[in-house]
């Protein structure tokens, strides 16, 4: 089963490259086995074209390396913090995709202007507050997770499956690694469209509540009817 977990994490990392979300070694993906309390994550600083499933590092929820010859991603504490906080997710993805990172660096949320965005997020893609000098100087990666969790207070993480870290970049998540990757694609896509929309109409208002509700709820929740269903 842990070999399957490593393969899931590996495939998620490689998918980020295929979707054009990765430059150099900027980014990582993890996948968790909830029953065992162990997650697999990309090794730190290893080029994507050199990766193999066996390179994935196994870490437990206490932060202890369980298996792997390489060091886990430097962002491992952030992944661990989110996996601990959001019990319904099975994966975390981090990229520095250009348009989403532009919003993060500017400290601005990605506004929800249209139905493409509303199909996946029940509102704007939020941005955290800036981290304090004390947070940066201490357990930086763990504190990165903390500011995300703080900003998500009272919000269902599956209704808002991603966030921008102020001055940093996006993190996304999902029930599976494939879904977390999909959300990373979505965040970059809606960021790119929002930038173009703001060029056309700098004071553009966000989507009407009725249209947001219609598009989000036709794909999510008990009344969803989009797609082929489970039957």
Active site residue ranges: 119, 226
DSSP E strand boundaries for 34-183: 38-41, 57-60, 65-67, 91-95, 162-164, 170-174
- Number of Cβ atoms within 10 Å of the Cβ of 61: 14
b vs e for 172-202, b when ≥16 Cβ sit within 10 Å of the residue's Cβ? bbbeebbbbbbbbbbbbbbbbbbeeeeeeee
8 Å CB contact between 53 and 6: yes
User: Cα(174)–Cα(165) distance, rounded to whole angstroms?
Assistant: 17
User: Cα(133)–Cα(214) distance, rounded to whole angstroms?
Assistant: 42
Beta-bridge partners for 58: 40, 67
User: Cα(83)–Cα(90) distance, rounded to whole angstroms?
Assistant: 7
CA–chain centroid gap for 154, Å, is: 18
* 169 CB-near residues (< 8 Å, 6+ apart): 26, 94, 95, 96, 97, 100, 101, 104
User: Cα(163)–Cα(92) distance, rounded to whole angstroms?
Assistant: 11
CA–chain centroid gap for 6, Å, is: 18
């Amino acid at each position: 089963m842990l070999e399957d977990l490593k393969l899931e994490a590996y495939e998620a990392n490689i998918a980020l490259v295929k979707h054009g979300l990765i430059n150099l070694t900027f980014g990582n993906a993890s996948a968790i086995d909830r029953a065992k309390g162990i997650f697999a994550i990309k090794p730190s600083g290893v080029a994507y074209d050199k990766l193999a499933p066996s390179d994935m590092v196994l870490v437990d929820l206490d932060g202890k390396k369980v298996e792997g010859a390489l060091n886990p991603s430097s962002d491992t504490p952030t992944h661990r913090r989110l996996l601990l906080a959001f019990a319904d997710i099975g994966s975390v993805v981090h990229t520095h995709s250009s348009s989403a990172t532009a919003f993060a660096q500017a400290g601005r949320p990605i506004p929800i202007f249209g139905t493409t965005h509303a199909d996946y997020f029940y509102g704007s893609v939020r941005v955290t507050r800036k981290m304090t000098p004390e947070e940066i100087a201490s357990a930086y990666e763990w504190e990165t997770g903390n500011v995300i969790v703080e900003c998500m207070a009272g919000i269902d993480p599956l209704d808002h499956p991603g966030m921008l870290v102020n001055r940093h970049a996006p993190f996304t998540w999902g029930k599976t690694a494939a879904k977390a990757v999909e959300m990373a694609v979505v965040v970059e896509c809606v960021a790119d469209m929002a930038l173009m929309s703001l060029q056309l109409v700098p004071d553009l208002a966000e989507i009407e509540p009725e249209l947001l509700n219609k598009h989000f709820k036709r794909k999510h929740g008990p009344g969803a009817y989009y797609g082929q269903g489970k039957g």
